[in-house]
C-alpha cells in the first residue's frame, strides 16, 4: 500500500497542477465564447487541434524512452543524450514547418491567416524544449516545482489573453493614436490568443532554465539508437492518439453539413466548446499519467507489481466514475460555462464524450504492459486501429450527423482500444484486474445517468432535478463504500472512519 500512497501523493500534486491549470484555463471558455463569434471559436479550435499533432512529431516519444532507460542506464547520460537530440531536432523541424506554413494553412482552411501557423511553430518548439525539463522533474520526484511552473504558465496565459482581448481594446478606444492603439487590431482575436500562448511557453521554458540548462553536450550514439528503436513506435502511438483526440475537429471543419465555410467553423466551435465539459475526466487522466508513468517503471522490479497495478486500476476507475456522475448529473449547471446559448445545442455529445474519456483513461492504465515488455509496436498497432475507426466513422457520418458523428467516433475508438489492450495484454503480461467488478461500476453509473435523464424528462423544477441527482451521487458513493470497505480501510484519512 505504501507504493500506492506514494503514487497518490505525487498524483495529487500533478493533479493540483493539472486541475488548477486546466480549470483556470477552463474559465477562459466562457470568456472566449463571449469574446469570439462561434466561427472564430471554431477557427481557434482548429489551430489548437493541429498543435498537438506537431507536439508528437517534435518530441517523438523521447519522454517515455527517458523514463524507460533512466532505470537501467546512468540517468545523466540518458538526460544529456535526449536533450541534445531534442534541441537539434526542434531546430530542424521548426525550420521545416516555417518553409511549409502556407500549405499547412491551406490544409487547415485558414489560408487568410498564415501568421497563425508562424505563432504555432513558436509554441510547439518552446513546448518541445520544455519536455525533458518537465520529465526530469517527474523522474526526480519533484511534483511541487512541476505544479508551480505549470500553474504559473497558465496564469500568465490567462493574464495575457485578458490584456489583449479586454485591456487593449479599451486603450485603443481612448487613445487610438497611442502605442497600443496604433498596432492593435480587434479583428485579430484568434491571433492574440495564440500570442498569449507563445508568451506562456517562453516564460515556462525560462522558469525551467535550471533543469533545461543542466544537460551537457555529451551524446551517446549507441544509447540514442536503442532509445530510438524503443520510442519511434511511440510516435505512431502519440500521433494515432492525437488523431483520435483532435482530428475530429479538423474533419468537422472539412465535412460538416451546411455547405459554407462559416457553417463548418460554427459546427466546430459548438463541438469544441461542449467537448470542454468533459474536462473533469480529462483532468484525472492527465494527472494520473503524470504520476503513473515513472511510478510504473520503478515498480516493475517489485514482486507484487502486477497486484499493485490492479489496485491502481480499481481506484482509478472508481474516481472517474464519480467524475462522470459529477458532470453528467449537473450538466444544466455546467453548460453555463459556455456563454453563448446557441452553443448549448451540442450538449447532447457530453455524456458520450465523458464515457469515451473514461475508456481512454482505462486504456492508459492498461498500456503499461507493452511499455514494460518493450512491445511498443503493439501499442502503435492498437492506436492505429483506433485512428482508423476515428477516420472511417467521421468520414462516413460527419456529412449526415455533424458533431454527433465525432462524439460516437471517439466513443467507439477509445472503447475498442481499451478492449484490445486488455485482451492482448492479459496474454503477454497478466495482471489480476477485477474487471468484472469494474465493468459493473461503469454500467451502474451509466444507468444512474439514464435514470436521472428520465426524471429530468418529466419536466419538474431544476431544483428537484439537482436534488435527485445529488441523491443518486451519494447512493453510488454509499454503494462503493460497502463493496470496497476492506480496500478503503487501508487508505489514509478515509480508512480511520471505516475501521
Contacts of 346 (CB under 8 A, 6+ apart): 270, 271, 273, 274, 403
Outline where 163-188 has alpha helix (H): 168-174, 179-183
Distances (CA, A) of 487 to 221, 453, 471, 482, 498: 47, 32, 24, 10, 10
Cβ-contact 22, 58 below 8 angstroms: no
- pLDDT for res 90: 94
pLDDT beyond 80 at 296:
no
Split at pLDDT 50, 70, 90, the class of 448 is very high
Task: Name which of 4, 2, 9, 15 is nearest 320 in CA terms.
Answer: 15
442-480 core/surface letters (b: 16 or more CB in 10 A; e: else): bebbbebbeebeeebeeeeeeeebeebbeebbeebeeeb
- What mean pLDDT is predicted for residues 290-319? 72
SS (H, E, C) 296-308: HHHHCCCCCHHHH
More confident residue, 408 or 15: 408
pLDDT beyond 90 at 353:
yes
- What mean pLDDT is predicted for residues 305-331? 87
Share of the chain above pLDDT 90, in %: 33
Split at pLDDT 50, 70, 90, the class of 494 is low
Split at pLDDT 50, 70, 90, the class of 300 is low
- What mean pLDDT is predicted for residues 35-48? 84
Q: What is the pLDDT of residues 54-73, one digit of tens each?
A: 888 898 888 878 888 887 78
- What mean pLDDT is predicted for residues 357-375? 84
- pLDDT for res 305: 75
Outline where 300-375 has alpha helix (H): 305-328, 331-334, 350-366, 368-372
- What mean pLDDT is predicted for residues 125-138? 88
- What mean pLDDT is predicted for residues 444-459? 92
Q: What is the pLDDT of residues 135-153, one digit of tens each?
A: 888 777 777 788 888 888 8
For the ranges 210-214, 226-230, 261-265, 406-410, the lowest mean pLDDT is seen at: 261-265
- What mean pLDDT is predicted for residues 372-381? 80
- Site of grid cell 473514461: 358
More confident residue, 491 or 141: 141
Mean pLDDT over the full length of the chain: 84
- What mean pLDDT is predicted for residues 286-309? 64
With 0.85 as the threshold, say if the pTM is over it.
no
- pLDDT for res 497: 61
Split at pLDDT 50, 70, 90, the class of 302 is low
For the ranges 12-26, 141-155, 425-439, 464-478, the lowest mean pLDDT is seen at: 12-26
- Site of grid cell 467507439: 412
- pLDDT for res 149: 87
- pLDDT for res 233: 76
Q: What is the pLDDT of residues 236-256, one digit of tens each?
A: 777 777 777 778 888 888 888
Split at pLDDT 50, 70, 90, the class of 408 is very high
Split at pLDDT 50, 70, 90, the class of 410 is very high
Cβ-contact 171, 181 below 8 angstroms: yes
- What mean pLDDT is predicted for residues 112-135? 91
- pLDDT for res 1: 47
CA separation for the pair 261, 412 (Å, rounded): 28
- pLDDT for res 351: 94
- pLDDT for res 301: 58
Amino acid at each position: 500500500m505504501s507504493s500506492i500512497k506514494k503514487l497518490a501523493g505525487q498524483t495529487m500534486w500533478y493533479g493540483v497542477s493539472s486541475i488548477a491549470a486546466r480549470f483556470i484555463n477552463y474559465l477562459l471558455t466562457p470568456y472566449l465564447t463571449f469574446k469570439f463569434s462561434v466561427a472564430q471559436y471554431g477557427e481557434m479550435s482548429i489551430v489548437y487541434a493541429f498543435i498537438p499533432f506537431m507536439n508528437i512529431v517534435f518530441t517523438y516519444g523521447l519522454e517515455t524512452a527517458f523514463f524507460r532507460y533512466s532505470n537501467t542506464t546512468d540517468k545523466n547520460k540518458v538526460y544529456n543524450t535526449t536533450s541534445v537530440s531534442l534541441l537539434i531536432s526542434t531546430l530542424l523541424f521548426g525550420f521545416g514547418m516555417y518553409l511549409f506554413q502556407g500549405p499547412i494553412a491551406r490544409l487547415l482552411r485558414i489560408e487568410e491567416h498564415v501568421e497563425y501557423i508562424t505563432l504555432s511553430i513558436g509554441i510547439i518548439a518552446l513546448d518541445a524544449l520544455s519536455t525533458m525539463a518537465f520529465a526530469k522533474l517527474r523522474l526526480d520526484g519533484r511534483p511541487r516545482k512541476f505544479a508551480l511552473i505549470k500553474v504559473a504558465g497558465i496564469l500568465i496565459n490567462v493574464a495575457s489573453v485578458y490584456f489583449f482581448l479586454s485591456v487593449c481594446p479599451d486603450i485603443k478606444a481612448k487613445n487610438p493614436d497611442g502605442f497600443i492603439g496604433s498596432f492593435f487590431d480587434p479583428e485579430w482575436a484568434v491571433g492574440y490568443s495564440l500570442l498569449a500562448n507563445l508568451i506562456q511557453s517562453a516564460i515556462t521554458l525560462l522558469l525551467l532554465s535550471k533543469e533545461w540548462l543542466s544537460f551537457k553536450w555529451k551524446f551517446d550514439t549507441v544509447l540514442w539508437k536503442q532509445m530510438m528503436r524503443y520510442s519511434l513506435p511511440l510516435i505512431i502511438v502519440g500521433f494515432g492518439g492525437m488523431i483520435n483526440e483532435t482530428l475530429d475537429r479538423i474533419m468537422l471543419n472539412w465535412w460538416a453539413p451546411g455547405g459554407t465555410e462559416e457553417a463548418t467553423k460554427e459546427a466546430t466551435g459548438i463541438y469544441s466548446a461542449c467537448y470542454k465539459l468533459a474536462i473533469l475526466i480529462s483532468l484525472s487522466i492527465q494527472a494520473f499519467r503524470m504520476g503513473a508513468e515513472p511510478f510504473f517503471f520503478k515498480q516493475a522490479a517489485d514482486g507484487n507489481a502486477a497486484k499493485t497495478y490492479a489496485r491502481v486500476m480499481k481506484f482509478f476507475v472508481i474516481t472517474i466514475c464519480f467524475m462522470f456522475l459529477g458532470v453528467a448529473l449537473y450538466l444544466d449547471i455546467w453548460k453555463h460555462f459556455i456563454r453563448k446559448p446557441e452553443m448549448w445545442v451540442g450538449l447532447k455529445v457530453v455524456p458520450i464524450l465523458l464515457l469515451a474519456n473514461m475508456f481512454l483513461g482505462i486504456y492508459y492504465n492498461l498500456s503499461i504492459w507493452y511499455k514494460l515488455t518493450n512491445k511498443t509496436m503493439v501499442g502503435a498497432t492498437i492506436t492505429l486501429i483506433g485512428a482508423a475507426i476515428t477516420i472511417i466513422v467521421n468520414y462516413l457520418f460527419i456529412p449526415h450527423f455533424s458533431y454527433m458523428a465525432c462524439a460516437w467516433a471517439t466513443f467507439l475508438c477509445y472503447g475498442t482500444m481499451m478492449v484490445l489492450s486488455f485482451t492482448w495484454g492479459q496474454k503477454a503480461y497478466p495482471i489480476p484486474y477485477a474487471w468484472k467488478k469494474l465493468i459493473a461500476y461503469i454500467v451502474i453509473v451509466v444507468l444512474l445517468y439514464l435514470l436521472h435523464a428520465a426524471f429530468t424528462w418529466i419536466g419538474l423544477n431544476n431544483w428537484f432535478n439537482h436534488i435527485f441527482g445529488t441523491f443518486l451521487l451519494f447512493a453510488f458513493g454509499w454503494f462503493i463504500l460497502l463493496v470496497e470497505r476492506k480496500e478503503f480501510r487501508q487508505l489514509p484519512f478515509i480508512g480511520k472512519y471505516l475501521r
